[in-house]
Each structure stands twice: as C-alpha cells, then as structure tokens.
Amino acid sequence: MQKLSNNRKIYRPIRPYRPPCYGVIIESAGWIVLAATWALVIISYEQLPYMIPIHFNPAGQADAYGAKSGILMLPVISTVAFFALTLINFLPRMLSLSETLSPLEAGRKYGGIILLLVTVKLIMAVAFGYLAFRTIQQAKGDPAGLGGWFLPVFIALTLFAVIIFMTGWLRNRYKINPET
C-alpha cells in the first residue's frame, strides 16, 4: 500500500487474485491447448519432411519454407509468452494502477486485468496450436494452408477480449454514484 500526498491510499495486492469459476475454466483450457500443441509437434516431428512451411502470407498460403526443426519454434514461442503472462497473474504488484483504490476496488480491477490476461493466453495458445496443426498438415501434403480467415479471426478475438475488458472497466469507472 502506498500513501499519496492527500492521505489517499493505493492498494496493490501482495497475493494473487484468483479468477472466478469461468476464469479457472479459461485458464485450464489454455494449459490443455498448450500441452496439446506440444504433444502434436513432438508426435508428428519424425514424420515431417526435411522442408516444411515456416511462414504464411496474409491469405494463409505458405510463402517460405525451412528445416523441419522450425516447427519447434511454435510451441516454444507460445510457451514463453504463456508463462510470461502467467507470471503477471502471480505478481499483481507488477501492474501499476495510478488511481487511488480501496481494497474492494483493487480486487475488482486487478481481478479484471488477470481475467483479461487469462483470456488472451487462451486465444494465443489456440492460435499457435492451430498454426502448428496447419503447418504439419501442409508439410504432409495438404495444400489448404491456414485459410484466409485465420489472421482476421485471431485479431478480432484478441480485440474483442480487450474491448469487453475496457467496456467493463469504463462502465465501472464512470458509474453514477447515487450518494452524490
């Protein structure tokens, strides 16, 4: 807890806030998708040809090829990003909110941020899992690519999560207080 010059306090939690029930389900789904991506890549690795697609254009078609070891970068990048966002869940003091917050407000705001991060982790894990799956399928001869819908859907899902979070944040911030 920090004191401000006008004796108002900012509460920054020491212990992590736990997401609600649906947050736990979203978090669990993210871990399952991350593990499934690793399993898919490891199981498929030996059957892959030496050259596989390593880059897709915005239309979802492969436009660069490289060694099959490049497939390992998808679960590695996904795991590093997943763990970085998970670390924030367990260290909410890293989040700096400049507003003055009561303990109840702090719980709501930090909890909301953590729920947003959990949702973004799931979206990211699904995107990398799908990338790994389609890369393996195309390396095995399926010419379909990612599909032109992949990039817009991934961006839309991420923006949707952020917009929902910001809408809730702003609605609570500018809620009319009947006592005033």
pLDDT tens, residue by residue, 124-157 = 999 999 999 999 999 998 888 888 899 899 999 9
**Start-to-end CA span in the chain (Å):** 27
CA distances from 57 to 60, 114, 158 (A): 5, 33, 20
DSSP 165: H
Looking at residue 164, its pLDDT comes to 86
pTM for this predicted structure: 0.78
**Please, what are the averages of pLDDT over each run of 10 residues along the chain (180 residues)?**
51 58 89 97 96 90 92 96 86 62 68 85 95 94 86 92 81 56
The radius of gyration computed from the CA coordinates of the chain, to the nearest angstrom, equals 21
Per DSSP, what are the bridge partners of residue 51? 67
HSE toward the beta carbon, residue 156, CA cutoff 13 A: 5
Looking at residue 67, its pLDDT comes to 95
Alpha helices in 99-178 (DSSP H): 103-139, 150-173
HSE toward the beta carbon, residue 150, CA cutoff 13 A: 23
Backbone angles phi, psi at 35, to 5 degrees: -65, -40
Using a 10 angstrom Cβ sphere, with 0-12 exposed, 13-18 middle and 19 or more buried, the burial of residue 103 is exposed
* Distance, C-alpha 133 to centroid of its chain: 18
Looking at residue 1, its pLDDT comes to 46
Looking at residue 142, its pLDDT comes to 87
Looking at residue 4, its pLDDT comes to 47
Looking at residue 18, its pLDDT comes to 61
115 touches 23 (CB < 8 A): yes
Euclidean distance between CA atoms 161 and 120, whole angstroms: 7
